[in-house]
Amino acid sequence: MPGVPGVKRVGHKGADLIAPGNTRASFEAALEHGVDMIEFDVLPHEGRLVLSHDPGDAAERAGGLLSLEEGLDLFAGEAYAGVELDVDMKTTGYEQRVADALAERDLSARTLVSTHHLASLDLLADAGVKRGWSVPRVKRNYIRSPAAPVAYAMARAWRLRLPRRAAALVRAGRCDALMVHWVLMSRTLVERMHAEGGEVYVWTVDRRAAIERFAALGADGVISNDPRLFAPAVA
Could you tell me the residue range of the domain that residue 155 belongs to? 8-228
Q: What is the pLDDT of residues 164-208, one digit of tens each?
A: 999 999 999 999 999 999 999 999 999 999 999 999 999 999 999
Q: Is the pLDDT of residue 234 over 80?
A: no
Asked if residue 234 belongs to a domain, the reply is no
Asked if residue 17 belongs to a domain, the reply is yes
Q: What is the pLDDT of residue 130?
A: 99
Contact 34, 11 (CB under 8 A): no
pLDDT band at 227 (very low <50, low <70, confident <90, very high): very high
For residue 19, count CB atoms less than 10 angstroms from its CB and return exposed for 0-12, middle for 13-18, buried for 19 or more: middle
End-to-end, the C-alpha distance of the chain in Å comes to 17
Number of domains comprising the chain:
1
Q: What is the pLDDT of residues 94-135, one digit of tens each?
A: 999 999 999 999 999 999 999 999 999 999 999 999 999 999
We report the CATH number of the domain holding residue 33 as 3.20.20.190
Asked if residue 74 belongs to a domain, the reply is yes
Q: What is the pLDDT of residue 34?
A: 98
Asked if residue 150 belongs to a domain, the reply is yes
Comparing CA positions, the residue from 88, 105, 42, 29 lying closest to residue 68 is 42
Arithmetic mean of pLDDT over the chain: 93
Q: Is the pLDDT of residue 216 over 70?
A: yes
Q: What is the pLDDT of residue 223?
A: 99
Q: What is the pLDDT of residue 212?
A: 97
